[in-house]
């Protein structure tokens, strides 16, 4: 008899593979283990899916809260404004949110490059 050394010879490896092929998936322990792995995998996927849904829900709630606070602030400020103050507020807000950024982009496109005139 040979001493078990941890390394298998070519013939021992071939015999082991042949025996494993004979036993195959019909072995009760293997099927139980495989079913446990599949169940655990399905539970992990379900937990990840649920966690993703909860993260999305929390993000949506944070966005809704931010919007409601913004709307509440606007309502409070409008209530305190007179008509001329409100009209001024709308004009300034339109300028800051729409016109000024567009003009800045346009200005950077049409402005001559200062580096070419400085080097001459």
Give the containing element (helix H, strand E) for 19.
Answer: helix 10-23
Measure the CA–CA gap between 74 and 86, rounded to whole angstroms: 11
112: left (phi over 0), alpha (psi -120 to 50) or beta: beta
pLDDT score of 120 more than 90: no
**Strand runs (DSSP E) across the chain, as ranges?**
none
Q: Give the predicted TM-score (pTM) of the model.
A: 0.43
22 has pLDDT over 80: no
Q: What is the pLDDT of residue 62?
A: 97
Chain mean pLDDT for the chain: 83
pLDDT at 50: 96
């Amino acid at each position: 008899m040979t001493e078990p050394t941890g390394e298998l010879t070519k013939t021992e490896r071939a015999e082991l593979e042949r025996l494993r092929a004979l036993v195959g998936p019909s072995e009760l322990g293997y099927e139980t283990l495989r079913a446990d792995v599949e169940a655990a995998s399905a539970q992990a996927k379900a937990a990840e899916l649920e966690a993703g849904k909860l993260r999305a829900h929390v993000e949506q709630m944070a966005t809704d809260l931010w919007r409601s606070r913004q709307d509440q602030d606007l309502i409070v400020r409008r209530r305190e404004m007179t008509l001329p103050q409100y009209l001024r507020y709308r004009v300034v807000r339109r300028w800051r949110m729409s016109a000024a950024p567009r003009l800045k982009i346009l200005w950077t496109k049409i402005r001559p490059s200062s580096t070419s005139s400085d080097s001459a």
